[in-house]
Structure 1
């Protein structure tokens, strides 16, 4: 499978790294187009992939074209690629850009859209994706292989779920990092050495997430298993509820979703 990456930034590089480490394709079958000479140099040296600063050259013999540029750079890329695509799959990971917008700009129909999240950079991500009706089953299989190299992938048949996933799993790691940071600082505040506090919080978050995943129990049931009547956990939970933690998290997701919709012009 021959891949062309338009954009060699953080997520583009992460995709290249994961694809190569999982053996999805070989380095000689990957070309990365990037406007920055230093990025091209780094990518060529680290991954032994072909590099170019010419987008039309990159897509010429590709089976899959991955759009991994910033939203503000997309119009220029689309204008350069318009009329050059003939059967290739175009997979966009550009935030807030709908399939209709891509179809209108490229005058082309074999399009897919995905929303990977930050943990995808270490192969532990979750990516929600969808595809236009023109995309073949073989091409859908290629998408699953590419996105699966970064963690788990979930296909949705309605594009509206992509903007929702952007707000939840796309932005979600930042919410989790904030909670982790706050818990670590709280541990330091009560007297724990910072390194020990970090270790305790990280393992607590990882273990708790795994418990939800592996037991199949509702989070409320697991929470109740930890909470003894009149105990320390009950006291801590009371303070969180008094502070409106549920409402704040809901408001954060809703605000991020509305922002995603506005970026998509909805």
Structure 2
């Protein structure tokens, strides 16, 4: 993380939720931003006091006041309250400040119009960001300068890895793939643990076996540095007529791939409906 890009910059988090705390913790832990230069704004004083005690930051219940004083304004609110918060920030942000939004389903055009501000970065992190192991896909409006992009990278690096995409269309795709991805993985792990318990393992043992298997498989693939296709690794552990072959045959027969593909597509359609209407539409 390049600390120099954020030194002396004042950062305001509008919405002091879990993801905002993950970013604050990373920025303070890595020395990227001084605690006194960070302000969290939200409606609950108790939550603000908790963050102040943990990280030494400032807190306020006045969103507009926090935004006015900031060089970087991080929008970390829930999508449901965006319609209430945007008018509060309208015209309150300094012209040379950067807005970084992690609000799901909120396109740059809506954010820019709602705040009367042009320099906007839109980002889609995922929940492993809470331990600095996330992956964030982000894009920027044309008005975001090179220096501001570096600032955005500095903030997002507090969450883990980051990938910049020129076209905003990839943000809704990322919402369906990596943003929602942990839920798919957790469901798979949960099912695998339950299967282990059904076989006769104590639950704690089954959980440990599954967690380490998933971690190890991901790490093993990553070490190949993209030179080996996932199918090749799967074939390595699939002996003809063996246990893996029997299990994979059943998964394919049950439509495992199709179910995953349809699930990701359903998440993508929901992300699009949020972006267009600000509220989810019922599934087809």
Q: Please indicate the TM-score interval, normalised by the length of the shorter structure.
A: over 0.9
- Give CA deviations for 1:196-248 in whole Å, capped at 9, x if unaligned: 11111111101111122111311100000000000011001111111110000
Partner of 1:150: 159
**Could you tell me how far apart the structure 1 residues matched to 2:141 and 2:63 are?**
23
2:235 matched residue in structure 1 = 224
Deviation at 1:60, TM superposition (A): 2.2
SS of 2:142's equivalent in the other structure is coil
Are 2:94 and 1:83 equivalent residues in the alignment? Answer: no
Q: Distance in 1 between matches of 2:116 and 2:40?
A: 23
Report if the CA contact (8 A) 1:5-1:65 is conserved.
Answer: yes
Aligned mates of 1:18, 1:242 — CA distance in 2:
44
Is the counterpart of residue 65 in structure 1 residue 63 in structure 2? no
- Alignment TM-score, normalising by the size of structure 2: 0.92
Is this contact kept in 2: 1:19–1:150, CA < 8 A? no
2:142 aligned with 1:140: no
8 Å contact kept, 1:166–1:257:
yes
Q: Secondary structure at 2:276's aligned position in 1?
A: coil
Aligned ranges for residues 158-173 of structure 1 at < 5 Å? Answer: 158-173=167-182
CA displacement at 1:171 relative to structure 2: 0.3
The residue aligned with 2:253 is 242
Where does residue 24 of structure 1 map in the other structure?
32
- For the 8 Å contact 1:33–1:51, the answer to whether it is kept is yes
Moved more, 177-186 or 71-80: 71-80
1:4 paired to 2:12: yes
After TM superposition, the runs of 4+ consecutive aligned structure 1 residues lying more than 2 A away are none
Q: 2:138 aligns with which of 118, 126, 129?
A: 129
Aligned-residue Cα RMSD (Å) equals: 1.0
Deviation by residue 1:148-171 (Cα, 9 ceiling, x = unmatched): 111100000000000000000000
How far is 1:42 from its partner? 0.8
Separation in 1, partners of 2:103, 2:122? 8
Query: Aligned with 1:96: secondary structure?
Result: coil
What is the CA–CA distance in structure 1 between the aligned matches of 2:56 and 2:194, rounded to whole Å?
42
TM-score (norm 1): 0.98
How far apart in 1 are the matches of 2:30 and 2:83? 32
Tell me, what secondary structure is at the counterpart of 1:133?
coil
Task: Between 185-194 and 248-257, report the one with greater CA deviation.
Answer: 185-194
Unpaired stretches in structure 2, ≥5 consecutive residues: 1-8, 278-284
| Larger deviation, residues 254-263 vs 11-20 | 11-20
Question: In the alignment, what sits opposite 2:205?
Answer: 196
Q: CA shift at 1:173, angstroms?
A: 0.0
Tell me whether 1:43 sits opposite 2:51 in the alignment: yes
In structure 1, list runs of 5 or more residues that go unmatched. none
Residue in 2 that maps onto 1:13:
21
**Segment of structure 1 superposing worse, 69-78 or 177-186:** 69-78
Equivalent residue in structure 2 for 1:255, among 252, 258, 266:
266
Equivalenced residues, count = 266
Is residue 116 from structure 1 mapped to residue 125 from structure 2 by the alignment? yes
